[in-house]
Amino acid sequence: MTDTTANTSEEGLAGSVLFYEKPEPLSAEHHGTLGVDPVDHPYAFVAKSHVVPLTVTEFAPAALSYPVIFVGETRQPVAVMGLRPTENLFIEPNGEFRAEAYIPGYVRRYPFVFANDDAQKRMILCIDRAAEFVKEGGAAKLFEDGKPSAYTQQAMEFCNNFEQERLRTEAFVTLLKDLDLLETRDAVFTPRNADGTAGEPQKLADYYAVSEEKLKTLPAKKLAELRDNGALGQIYAHLVSLLGWDRLIAMTFQRAAKTPAAANA
């Protein structure tokens, strides 16, 4: 829902969500003349982030493009899109995703996002006022006659669906924790010396992943439950996605070859 009297401060929202520099509770009073224009570089805002959060139902399509891993204390699922913290290998110079890459819902909902209004026990639709394509008199109006436009209503529906998927993802991660299936792993690259011998291994990242050994030792009844509720399929998608580390390494070398200066950065 869109609210104009939310007890949510701008300071409380800013900086708390990846990509959102100046999120504001959306209202006709403050944003009635704004709209969204098409831009030349639609996904440029993702170019300096090497990971993007995922929901559990995205594991399968995302696995075709990226390693899907779990990070942080909350074991947040993310798609790994680069090996360097400020480099996304899947964003082209024109600000588009690579044609074959899956675009996560977290990215597609931008510049909109839901925020918690704890005082009123509800969710508030916000917009990133700093987004370059949110402009005065923009083509896709946010409001018409003081009411949310069709464009804004579609955004609200998308964000609402995303919120439901986010809650489903939290439940999935809790299940993995309860079954003690997550373990720490390292992504390692072993370069080749000039003579063809193996060089010194280099750690690229450490993260959490499902332990295949622990998965195998689960009781048959529990495995059947995971299969029936769809969790087992998502787990396998995650495990298969880990083969994507080699793709990221290859893409990193390809980009460095095109821009030699980056290799020494």
pLDDT score recorded for residue 196? 67
The rounded mean pLDDT for the chain is: 88
Query: Considering the domain boundaries, does residue 146 fall inside one?
Result: yes
Whether residue 3 lies inside any domain: the answer is: no
Per-residue burial over 132-161, b if 16 or more Cβ lie within 10 Å, else e, is ebbeeebebbbbeeeebbebbeebbeebee
* Structure confidence at residue 188 as a pLDDT band (50, 70, 90): confident
The pLDDT, as a whole number, for residue 155 is 95
For 144-155, how does the pLDDT look when each residue is reduced to its tens digit (9 = 90+)?
999 999 999 999
Kindly state the average pLDDT of the residues 151-165: 95
More reliable by pLDDT, 1 or 56: 56
- Tell me, yes or no, whether 77 lies in a domain: yes
Given a cut of 60, whether residue 11 has pLDDT beyond it is no
pLDDT at 7 over 60: no
Closest CA to 177 of 27, 26, 22, 70: 70
CA gap 175, 169 in Å, rounded: 10
Q: What is the pLDDT of residue 52?
A: 97
Per-residue pLDDT at 41 exceeds 90: no
Q: pLDDT per residue over 52-83, tens digit each?
A: 999 999 999 999 999 999 999 999 999 999 99
In a domain, 190, yes or no: yes
8 part of a folded domain: no
- Mean local confidence (pLDDT), 128-152: 94
250 within a domain of the structure (yes/no): yes
Q: What are the pLDDT digits (tens) for 190-232?
A: 767 766 676 777 888 899 999 999 999 999 999 999 999 999 9
Does residue 249 belong to any structural domain of this protein? yes
- Can you give the residue range of the structural domain that contains 144? 14-257
Q: Say if 197 falls within a structural domain.
A: yes
Percent of the chain with pLDDT over 90: 76
∠ CA 22-4-12, rounded to 5°: 35
Measured between alpha carbons, how far is 28 from 147 in angstroms, rounded to an integer? 7
pTM: 0.86
- pLDDT confidence of residue 117: 75
| Beta carbons of 247 and 224 less than 8 angstroms apart | no
194 Cβ contact partners less than 8 Å away, ≥ 6 residues apart: none
pLDDT at 21: 92
> What is the tally of structural domains in the chain?
1
Predicted pLDDT of residue 122: 80
